Structure 1
Amino acid sequence: MGSLQFEGVFAKLARASELTAILEGEFDKHTSMSSVKTESDFELDGRRWVLRASSDGELPAIFAVMTGEIVHHLASSLDHLFAALVSSSGREIRRDHYFPVYVNHADYLARVDKRSLLDGLPEHVVSKIKEVQPFTSDTPKDTVLAAVKELNNQDKHRLLVVLHAAATIADNLELGHDEPSNRTPKITGFWTPPQLVPLTPRMQKIFAVDLADPAPSFWAKPNIRRYLILANCGEAKNVPAIRTLRALIAGVTHTVEMFTN
């Protein structure tokens, strides 16, 4: 197949990458101009030192708009791919032509096979389309194509993609104590939340240090790191947005290359 047929497909993927880089830069600017408040105290009768964080700064709506544009380019690139495949097979492109993405096999059969969506396409193309379907995975909603479809549908039909700013601690952590007897508190473990915690005006627990015994003189000085997070992506919640968007771009690019190489 001629490369010109897929020029628009790769242009959309390139634009998605450009917008992701811009979004990352804009979020970095936002964090540099907003502050995070922290406070610490003890729980479990003094055997757990807890760090909490909050922020009054709201994310600009443009961040969600940009994220919607990114996932739209990804979804659109797949539909453009399908149109190019149809055209190269000598068929006329119809208004109802689209790249099928289904998490349920029954829906695929009802909406693809029964509507003859793939009729006229070469058998190897039909096989590849079926091969990349989310329903072939043990976790269909967590596949790249399903995540792109869901985020794109959310942005088009319901509301802006839900984003939050989140806080966590960086790798470097300074620990100490002010015990006059120089008795060093024994650390038994560290606690972190199962997901990145969205920053809100209310203090949220983001980190804790577990101690063998109460040690009121214990202190920690963690460095706070902030993330832009997607509230939902597949079955996952509160995932790093930039890293996830780049993974989605890579996944869609890989899918496209399966048909274009």
Structure 2
Amino acid sequence: MLAPSTGRQVLQRALQRALASTPSSTVTLPGFLVPAFQTAAQSASRRPFSATTHRPSKLGRTPLSVPPGVDLAIGDLFVRKDMTSYLRTYKRKITVTGPLGTLDLEIPDYVTIDHDAAARRVELGVKDRDQRNQREMWGTTWSYLNNYIMGVSEGHTAVLRLVGIGYRATVEPRPALEEYPGQQFVCLKLGFSHPVEMGLPKGMRASAPQPTRVLLEGIDKEQIMQFAAHIRRWRVPEPYKGKGIFVNDETIKLKQKKIK
């Protein structure tokens, strides 16, 4: 059932019909009907909310500067097979090469890239800004490409802080457990009955400038932060004593002790 109209709505519609059928020179309204007519006119001239246009991505429309010594190679479209769907997904590979290494980034086909080698700048765009998924990947692709350019030119770091009595960290080799030659292992003493040993992924370096500090270095920011999250999982910071493993500038708000 349709909801019944209110008295004001019925009055506004009647006024609009009466004004439409009466010449403008003979229109006279009683004083008590003027506010209702003004409300109807304002609501008719108001623009609906759905008529607003989509704003472009603030990050995606910002040009990226390519530092000296870094080269970008944009490949052709290829089909990426998705094991969870029968649809064919088209991708394009961007190879970022710098003094510290090489990284490959796969972007969707609807993300356009304009590389000006002479000016050393890159601009990203999408084919249809009205599509929500394309607008979402616009800024995401910009962020990934920016991290890759910074990684191969300057590198990324992550600092782990061990807070707790007896918490210690060292970086030592473990030849019997190596997955590749020269692999480093982060050895942690976190109050367990055994030390925790975690091997670094290939392409990463680690050092322990202090017994309670671990410095991770590499060109892939996602890989570094993922490995830092694996280490943090052993001792997640707790809010009562403030003990745990903190990543970079992470802080925690302490709580009052529970009193029964």
- TM-score band (shorter)? under 0.3
The alignment's TM-score, normalised by the length of structure 1, stands at: 0.24
What TM-score do you get using the length of structure 2 for normalisation? Answer: 0.24
Q: Which has the higher strand share?
A: 2
Q: Which has the higher contact order (CA 8 A, sep 6+)?
A: 1
Greater C-alpha Rg:
2
Q: Say which structure is richer in helix.
A: 1
